[in-house]
Structure 1
Amino acid sequence: MITFRTIDLNKDRTSLINFRKDSFIVSFGNLVGFHEGSYLAYVLEKIEQYPDGFVMAELDGKAVGQLELSVKEYQGRKIGYVHLFYLVPAQRGSGIGNELFTYAMNFFKKLGLDEYHLRVAPQNHRARRFYEKHGMKEIGPELDGKVIRMQGFITTSI
């Protein structure tokens, strides 16, 4: 069973860095734009704002995933935003991603949001299929085509 807990920067530092680096490589093929110190400072700031949104997912006490969830303004409305949806390679396709997804939907629902977005690299086909399977739709390219913004809606069935 997956458990979720707020990220502890001291305890989770190595996992945070490794997970984020892996997400960069999977998404962009390299680490260009990744800066460890800036990333850790960002996570620390966001944990204070959204302690239930910046969480590690653990299986039998071992970190196997990470979520970074917050609220943003987009075109004049408040939306949920998925900054990072990460699962270690060994667990991809195991069904644990569905548990992370459900956690994210419940987080947004508790905040009274009905819409959420994320960005995904165009070449990250596996992630795009996963998001589409969960009802998300592409709404357009951003950052000169480096990413695609996807939109989803929180349903009452979750």
Structure 2
Amino acid sequence: MAQRFNFRPINALRDRQTIVQFRKDSYIVSFGTPDELGDEELYVAWMAMAAAMEPEGFVIMECEGKPIGQMELEVILYDGHPIGYVDLFYLIPEYRNRGLGKRQIDYAEAYFKRKGLTEYHLRVSPTNKRALRFYEKHGLKKMMTEQLTQTVIRMGKRL
């Protein structure tokens, strides 16, 4: 029997524990520590606002009703024009390497196209070689290295 996967809008209060844990794990995978998350309350408050404004952009991926991933997608200005921006692609470890990251990419690209966008970007840690290979395999190109609180690589793709 095939498993059923779906995306549903994040409810920051109901999903608080899940979104904080997923975000922390994403920082551990990327930077070796969850410290980059900062103040959990600020993150949850931001998520509540962002998810209320763009419920299709801030979603939990579920398998048979179990949360297995998260995406944070938004529209930002870059060089004076609107682009899609991926704040987070995340899957729990036991669901990685099963083709589900491709489902997330497909969802994100369809979302950005519905918004009338022709390009999207994301940032990735240069030490996260698995993510770099995955994004390159799916057509994202390295654009530049940026220094935030950590060094990151900005990647982009035209739609």
TM range (shorter): over 0.9
The equivalent of 1:40 in structure 2 is 44
Q: Which of 10, 19, 22 pairs up with 2:22?
A: 19
What is the alpha-carbon distance in structure 2 between the residues aligned to residue 24 and residue 37 of structure 1?
17
Task: Tell me if 1:9 matches 2:12.
Answer: yes
Equivalent position of 1:90 in the other structure: 94
For 2:142, the aligned partner's letter is E
Q: Distance in 1 between matches of 2:14 and 2:48?
A: 13
Unmatched 5+ residue regions in structure 2? none
Deviates more, 1:111-120 or 1:26-35: 26-35
Q: How high is the sequence identity, in percent, across the aligned residues?
A: 47
Determine the structure 1 residue equivalent to 2:153: 148
- Displacement of 1:73 in angstroms is 0.4
Give the secondary structure class of the aligned counterpart of 2:14: helix
Q: Structure 1, residues 113-153: CA drift from partner, whole Å, max 9, x if none?
A: 01000000010111111110110001011126611100012
Q: Which residue of 2 aligns with 1:106?
A: 110
When structure 1 is superposed on structure 2, of 58-67 and 136-145 the one drifting more is: 136-145
In the TM superposition, structure 1's runs of 4+ consecutive aligned residues that sit over 4 Å from their partners are none
**Other-structure match for 1:135:** 139
**Deviation (angstroms), 1:42:** 1.0
Query: Which amino acid counterpart does residue 90 of structure 1 have in structure 2?
Result: E
Q: What is the distance in 2 between the residues matched to 1:106 and 1:14?
A: 28
10-19 or 80-89, larger mean C-alpha shift: 10-19
TM-score normalised by structure 2 residue count: 0.93
**Partner of 1:58 in structure 2?**
62
Which of 80, 83, 87 pairs up with 1:79? 83
1:25-68 CA distance string (max 9 Å, x none): 11111122322111101101111221100000000000001000
Distance 1:33 1:124 in 2: 15
Q: When the two structures are superposed, what TM-score results if normalisation uses the length of structure 1? A: 0.94
Per the alignment, in what secondary structure is the counterpart of residue 33 of structure 1? helix
- Whole-angstrom distance in 2 between the partners of 1:45 and 1:9: 9
Aligned residues: 154
